[in-house]
């Protein structure tokens, strides 16, 4: 299934997160994103190079991405849980390169090497850790021929991170709320400290109560959640947000008793993860306001508008702002 030998073209060489030198087509214009985090990264930097989405944009997010990208096909994912794309489908999309962004492990490295051997396509792996977001935006922007945009987004990412660090620097342990990230309709799936799915909780001045393997999602029992006694619950699931105070097995948990269960906005991409990509920058700002409204609550609406304008190239209407911040 190898591709025909490519015709001679200008190349740019990039050192990826696996410390490999990857030769990419200069100003690549047909890029396949291997998973949802790479989808968002590519959209923010060079949406015109997208071949499709891993998953189609849901109805509530269509007006929050550029019109030219709303109806791009759902191509399926090449990596991660629930991969849905085979190599025939990959080749049918006629990409010039593959982009992957997220956890770097031997599994992903092996996959990238196998895919390159079978297709002849360059496969770029980039580290999805939150701290490296500004660097990644600059590196990929330069590699894709949009260096100026990469620098602009990288500089804004640095500012968002620096602002959060400045806010949390003086907080004592007793000023940092205990936080639980609830996933699923029962809220019993979570992510431990250090996970790519939850790392912005502590950057926003909270303490993630979930203990366990930081490389994968956790299944949590109601008994364990009571023992952790979170003061704030952040959820990604609307059903859980609506019904948490009605679940007898969770009665008495401080966050639920005090009405501090917050549904994270999800459109066009999740604020916390879903996927864990550049969108987490906005999640950091939103979490800071939820955890410390006296320190970070002011200016959230303006920052939301600025982020959508700069990263997603969308001007939010007043109604859209209300929906997002009312979630």
For the chain, what percent of residues have pLDDT higher than 90? Answer: 82
Q: What is the pLDDT of residue 83?
A: 58
Which residue would you say has higher pLDDT here, 272 or 105? Answer: 272
Is residue 168 within 8 A of residue 190, CB to CB? The reply is no
Return the exposure string of 88-99: e unless at least 16 CB atoms fall within 10 Å of the residue's CB, then b.
eebbeeebbbbb
Judged by phi (left if over 0) then psi (alpha if -120 to 50, else beta), residue 102 lies in: left
Q: How confident is the model at residue 3 (pLDDT cuts 50, 70, 90)?
A: very low
Is residue 123 within 8 A of residue 59, CB to CB? The reply is no
User: Which tens digit of pLDDT belongs to each residue from 175-231?
Assistant: 999 999 999 999 999 999 989 999 999 999 999 999 988 878 999 999 999 999 999
End-to-end, the C-alpha distance of the chain in Å comes to 46
User: Which tens digit of pLDDT belongs to each residue from 282-297?
Assistant: 999 999 999 999 999 8
User: Is the pLDDT reported for residue 120 higher than 80?
Assistant: yes
Q: How confident is the model at residue 264 (pLDDT cuts 50, 70, 90)?
A: very high
Is residue 255 within 8 A of residue 232, CB to CB? The reply is yes
Q: How confident is the model at residue 82 (pLDDT cuts 50, 70, 90)?
A: low
CA angle 282, 288, 291 (to 5 degrees): 140
Which domains does the chain carry? Answer: 11-160 (3.40.50.1980), 172-326 (3.40.50.1980)
- Mean pLDDT, the chain, as a whole number? 92
User: Is the pLDDT reported for residue 327 higher than 70?
Assistant: no
Q: Residue 44 to residues 34, 84, 94, 210: CA-CA distances in angstroms?
A: 16, 24, 22, 31
49-58: average pLDDT: 94
Burial class (CB in 10 A: 0-12, 13-18, 19+), 165: exposed
CA 121 to chain centre: 25
């Amino acid at each position: 299934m190898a591709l025909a030998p490519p015709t001679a073209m200008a190349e740019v060489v990039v050192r990826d997160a696996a410390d490999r030198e990857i030769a990419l087509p200069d100003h690549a214009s047909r890029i396949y994103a291997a998973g949802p985090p790479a989808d968002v990264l590519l959209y923010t930097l060079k949406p015109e190079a997208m071949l499709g989405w891993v998953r189609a944009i849901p109805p509530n997010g269509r007006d929050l991405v550029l019109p030219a990208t709303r109806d791009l096909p759902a191509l399926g994912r090449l990596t991660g849980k629930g991969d849905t794309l085979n190599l025939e489908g990959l080749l049918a999309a006629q990409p010039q390169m593959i982009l992957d962004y997220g956890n770097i492990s031997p599994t992903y490295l092996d996959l990238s090497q196998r895919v390159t051997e079978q297709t002849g396509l360059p496969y770029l792996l980039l580290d999805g850790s939150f701290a490296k977001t500004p660097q990644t935006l600059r590196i990929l922007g330069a590699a894709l021929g949009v260096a100026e945009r990469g620098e602009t987004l990288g500089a804004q990412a640095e500012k968002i991170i620096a602002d959060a660090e400045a806010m949390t620097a003086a907080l004592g342990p007793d000023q940092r709320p205990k936080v639980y990230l609830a996933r699923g309709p029962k809220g019993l799936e979570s992510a431990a400290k250090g996970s790519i799915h939850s790392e912005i909780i502590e950057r926003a001045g909270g303490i993630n109560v979930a203990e366990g393997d930081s490389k994968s999602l956790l299944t949590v029992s109601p008994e364990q959640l009571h023992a952790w006694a979170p003061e704030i619950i952040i959820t990604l699931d609307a059903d859980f947000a609506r019904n948490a105070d009605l679940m007898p097995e969770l009665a008495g948990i401080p966050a639920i008793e005090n009405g501090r269960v917050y549904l994270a906005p999800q459109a066009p991409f999740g604020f916390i993860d879903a996927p864990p990509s550049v969108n987490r920058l906005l999640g950091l700002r939103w979490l800071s306001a939820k955890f410390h409204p006296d320190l970070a609550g002011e200016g959230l609406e303006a920052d939301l508008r600025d982020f959508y304008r700069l990263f997603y190239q969308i001007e939010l209407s007043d109604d859209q702002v209300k929906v997002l911040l009312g979630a």
